Amino acid sequence: MVDDKAVRPKHLGSGKADIPYDEPSIEILDTFPSPFTEGNGVEVEIEAQEFTTLCPITGQPDFAQFFITYTPNKLCVESKSLKLYFGAFRMHKSFHEDCVNRIADDLIKLLDPLKLKVEGRFTPRGGIKIWPIVTYTQK
């Protein structure tokens, strides 16, 4: 039997979201035990369309869609906590590549997935689109 307190997400159903909009932290993210049978090749796909951050040089806002695909090991990421985590980038100053790398690193630390792909599709500025991608496969 699973201990309810051990897997209860701290944000889901709380009715509040006291997350600062300039401090992304792995501590915001919640998990739950993967309901998938180990070794069956399942993938979880997540699309977040409302990501924003600030350019560290100009302070101008950057907008992106994020696409995350992962093969769970023992844990899955809880979606409300992921939304709050993304929201914590709102006033954070960071380059596109750094945002994608940081999100991938945090998800790898949190979930220990078998595979992970994080792609940030940033809205072009000055006619240049930047879409950083991080791929990870557990060794």
Annotation says 55 is catalytic: yes
Annotation says 62 is catalytic: yes
Question: For the chain, what's the residue count?
Answer: 139
C-alpha pair distances (Å), 44 with each of 51, 67, 71, 87, 125: 19, 11, 6, 21, 30
Q: Which residue out of 30, 62, 76, 106 is catalytically annotated?
A: 62
Q: Which sign, positive or negative, has the C-alpha torsion 86, 89, 94, 95?
A: positive
**Dist CA 51 CA 24 (whole Å):** 12
Q: Which residue has the tokens 């630390």?
A: 109
**Residue whose C-alpha is closest to residue 84's, from 3, 42, 23:** 23
Q: Which residue out of 18, 30, 55, 99 is catalytically annotated?
A: 55
Residues identified as active-site: 55, 62
